[in-house]
Amino acid sequence: MATAEDRVKADIEREDALQGIGCSRKRKEDPRFVQGKGTYVDDVKLPGTLYADLVRSPFAHARIKGINKEKALALPGVHAVLTAEDLKPLNLHWMPTLAGDVQAVLADEKVHMQYQEVAVVIADDRYIAADAVDLVEVEYEALPVLVDPHKALDPDAPILREDAEDKDNVGQGPRKHPNHIFNWQVGDAEATERAFDEAEVTVKQEMYYPRVHPSPLETCGCVASFDKVNGKLDVYITSQAPHVVRTVVSMLSGVPESKVRIVSPDIGGGFGNKVGIYPGYVTAIVASIVIGRPVKWIEDRMEHLSTTAWARDYWMTGELAADKDGRIKGLKVDVLADHGAFNSHAQPTKWPAGFLSICTGSYDIPVAHVNVDGVYTNKSPGGVAYRCSFRVTEAVYVIERMMDVLAQKLGIDKAEIRRRNFVKPEQFPYETCLGWELDSGDYHTALDKVLAAVDYEGLRKEQAEKRAKGELMGIGLVTFTEVVGAGPSKNCDILGVGMFDSAEIRVHPTGSAIARMGTITQGQGHQTTYAQIIASELGIPSEEIQIEEGDTDTAPYGLGTYGSRSTPVGGAATAVAARKIRDKARKIAAHLMEVSEDDVEWDIDRFKVKGVPGQEKTMKEVAWAAYNNVPEGMEMGLEAVDYYDPPNFTYPFGTYLCVVDIDKYTGVVDIRRFYALDDCGTRINPMIIEGQVHGGLNEGFAVAMGQEMPYDEEGNLLGNTFMDYFIPTFVETPHWETDYTVTPSPHHPLGAKGVAESPHVGSIPCFTAAIVDALAHLDVTHVDMPHNAYRVWQTLHELGADKRD
Amino acid sequence: MAKQHISFSLNGEQIDALVEPRELLVHTLRETLNLTGTHIGCETSHCGVCTVDLNGVSVKSCTVLAMQAHEGEVTTVEGLANGELHAVQQAFIEEHGLQCGFCTPGMLMRAQRLLQENPDPSEEEIRWGMAGNLCRCTGYQNIIKAVQSAAKKLQQEA
Ligand code: FES
Ligand code: FES
């Protein structure tokens, strides 16, 4: 007879065989990628494809006096050259942005930024198209350029958007100047003022969060194919949100949504850059409709960096009021946001500055006020999130920087000041003064674990010794809380569509399953992890579960993948849909075993009759019965759909610590150690989580240490190639140490919170904090990014710290 | 200018192709020969997603003219597996050395060449030896692990 121990062992084996939640299962996607068999947009080949290439403006602000297409049209192999004049009759020369503004598809009489799309050339191949672009002659009359957002609202500032000059609202509330886009305020201004008036200490710090670009290795592109006979439009596109694209394309083109099929095939990274709809896509679609042949448009790297969605560009001022012990009494954040030539940022409709109001962070702050003004400049339009949920990166940056500024002012240790202000475990769910309900957290444990792991005391001692010797060593510490999983439809929508997400699961008669989701992977490994969720919920081995996403003809409608929303929203939908199936399966199992449903219990991969060993039906047996022997009155089949509207966001958190040594003569920063502890609630695939954390840290490192998109006075973008724009290589990238705690989300069906953006959001202020900490004894409270050697050296030089004695 | 006739060995097979003199090797591979495993990320020699072997060295095929491959030997990611997966392919899967997969073919082509140049590289040597290949997703750490583990496996086999 089997002993109890044997039975436990058998249960564990049965569970392990499923490769469900918690298993570091190898990725399902990988075999095709390592053999060069992925299908990215540029790999899509349709017979008779033509190629689109764009004529772009060399000027940042100019009037178009004339366009001469003749020479281009005369080139053999050129099929068409289209300008705004050609799109006007179709009313497609402008398009709506996700933010309620409009953006020119092709420049309509004026250009508002360098590299703006002016005309599109359609030709037999990409070489001919490129030749023809050179042959299109455009005459410009240069206009005064507005580059500095601080001057945008001056009475004598050049007016950029003449098309919107008379509008008192460009989609996000009243505005006060033709270059003004919106003003957004949250919190109690008066009470906050009072807190500051009464405070024992106040601190204030200005900081600039530079304009940066996500720059995935695959640029943006599409293949549009309009079938004139059937009136059907297929578009293969690099999109993180194919269903939203379908809705927009249908609205723009007039093709019924049922005849538009959007396919996001394999995507070579997105990081927020592939959420929006770009003029290149629209011109390819229009050209295909007009010419009746497939049209491919793939941008090059320079076009990608110059015109597609970037992030940040926030001029922020943070202020804290506190008592002498460092307990915070109030917070103020004031922002000037440079949105470029068109307001094409991608935030949920009611959030013109995204989730910036999460800026109270991990701290119990009684009162706060946030004020944001958005303005137009002659720069590329944006901004989106770069591996972050809607400005949460900026929010975490400002509060974490301010915590350090306050600590330095009061002479309190930077870990200690955080500990004093943390929301305590027993306070959850915790309502912040700016209206967020933090679902769960245990900040003290995370902090203590990291401090112990790195020997914080020892590091501080070492730092003191080094300072005595004139050497520069810095310890950066960040204890962030962020918000992901957008979002409850009561306060989040995109173009009026609620930000739910969806899953549809079908269990086949022989017990394998296929599932389709409204999200779309760009490297996150959805084909692997969604299957693990279903495996645990339904007792079907992961290997027998097929996951499909990205084809709007087959997948249920969803809002897509960005802002770490796949696990919190799509993952929840998957779990709920699976549970609907399990509920039905339970009824079938009871029917098969001729017992009441109440007597049946679920056990890993089967239903058992309580207290009757051996009386059981596996999910496989139930699946078969679902197609031939169901209880009377029940419909056949075993499938379910769920559109999951989350009751709340999720709030992952973490503690990061970075140790740097700075060479005071050269400004070279050596990142000696980076320790990242993340708490993303329930962990579905630890291997994938760790990979996501590595990647996010590396992108954070890129932003903090080198990325920026500077413009000169004429509005020329300096740094739009990989020569100038910093992408860390193997050589600069530090070694990452990762760790975790698990504090499940109470409202998510699996307790999972989402993780991919946390390491980006959390690491950036940590790098800055380390640099500043190295200079704190020289009374430095803040240094702006990027911390490349030249800029760090400049700071050292100004301080006189680079003097040789 | 008129198209030119070239012939070269591609993944062990003799190939004839008609190319424009200005045509880049990566375009010939992807467009004419339908091998889309080799990707394009920058066309300026910075990202390495177009890396292939040409005559026994790693080259960035976005910066090589197709005509330069004439009478040469080219290997792409499609030619890496030989019945079963190459050790670097297997190691990238085992060590989670890829996410979106866009950089992966170039990474693999560089990694297998590096391991022929230096069968037992240190972490430092891997970092420098692969510095011409960018990845936006992985933070490189697991790629290094994968290259190390492939090195071990290849040495055991040798
Ligand atoms: S495409 Fe060849 S190096 Fe980037
Ligand atoms: S795996 Fe995406 S760029 Fe390397």
Same domain, A404 and A280: no
Residue A192 within a domain: no
pLDDT tens-place string over residues A745-762:
999 999 999 899 999 999
Confidence of residue A8 (pLDDT cuts 50, 70, 90): confident
Catalytic residue among A220, A222, A359, A388: A388
- Name the residue at shortest CA distance from atom 2 of ligand 2: B100
SS3 B123: helix
Q: What is the CATH number of the domain that holds A709?
A: 3.30.365.10
What's the rounded Cα separation, in Å, for the pair A170 and A708?
28
Does A766 qualify as catalytic in the annotation? no
- Please report, in angstroms and rounded to a whole number, the separation of the first and last CA atoms in chain A: 83
Based on the fold, state whether residues A761 and A706 are members of the same structural domain. yes
pLDDT of residue A53: 98
Same domain for A455 and A356?
A: yes
Asked if A292 and A340 sit in the same domain, the reply is no
Note whether A653 and A677 are same-domain residues: yes
Domain final position from A613, A644, A675: A644
B79 vs B13, B63, B89, CA distance in Å?
10, 21, 12
Q: Tens digits of per-residue pLDDT, A510-566? A: 999 999 999 999 999 999 999 999 999 999 999 999 999 999 999 999 998 887 788
Q: A336 with A284, same domain? A: no
Residue nearest (by alpha carbon) to ligand 1 atom 3: B45
* Residue A488 banded pLDDT, cuts 50, 70, 90: confident
- For the four alpha carbons of A466, A467, A472 and A474, in that order, the dihedral sign comes to positive
Same domain? For A8 and A56 the reply is no
The H or E element spanning position B7 is: strand B4-10
Domain CATH number, residue A229: 3.90.1170.50
Q: What is the pTM of this model?
A: 0.96
The domain of A769 spans: 311-486+648-799
Which residue among A307, A328, A356 closes a domain?
A: A307
Band of the pLDDT at A2, cuts 50, 70, 90?
A: low
Q: Do B100 and A268 touch (CB under 8 A)?
A: yes
Chain A positions in Cβ-Cβ contact with residue B41 (cut-off 8 Å): 217-219, 268, 301
DSSP string, A485-536: S---TTT-EETTEE--EEEEEEE-TTS-EEEEESS--SSS-HHHHHHHHHHH
Ligand nearest to the CA of B41: 1
**Do A20 and A46 belong together in one domain?**
no
In the predicted structure, residue A434 carries a pLDDT above the cut 60: yes
Q: What does the mean pLDDT of chain A come to?
A: 95
* Digit-coded pLDDT (tens) for B112-156: 999 999 999 999 999 999 999 999 999 999 999 999 999 999 999
Same domain, A778 and A677: yes
Domains and CATH numbers, chain B: 4-79 (3.10.20.30), 87-157 (1.10.150.120)
Active site residue A680: no
What are the structure tokens assigned to B48, written together? 């390495």
Pocket mutation for ligand 2, best pick of A40, A217, A524, A694 (most atoms within 8 Å of C-beta) = A217
* Residue A148: alpha-carbon gap to chain centroid: 27
Distance B130 CA to ligand 1 centre (A): 14
Answer yes or no: do A579 and A632 share one domain. yes
pLDDT at A384: 81
Three-state SS letters, A185-232:
EEECHHHHHHHHHHCCEEEEEEEEEEEECCCCCCCCEEEEEEECCCCE
How many independent structural domains does chain A possess?
3
Mean pLDDT of A298-311: 96
* Tens-place pLDDT, residues A697-734: 999 999 999 999 999 999 999 989 999 999 999 999 99
pLDDT tens-digit series, residues B68-115: 999 999 999 999 999 999 999 999 999 999 999 999 999 999 999 999
Q: Which of helix, strand or coil describes residue A467?
A: helix
Q: Among A278, A250, A282, which Cα is nearest to A344's?
A: A278
Residue B43 CA to ligand 1 centre (angstroms): 4
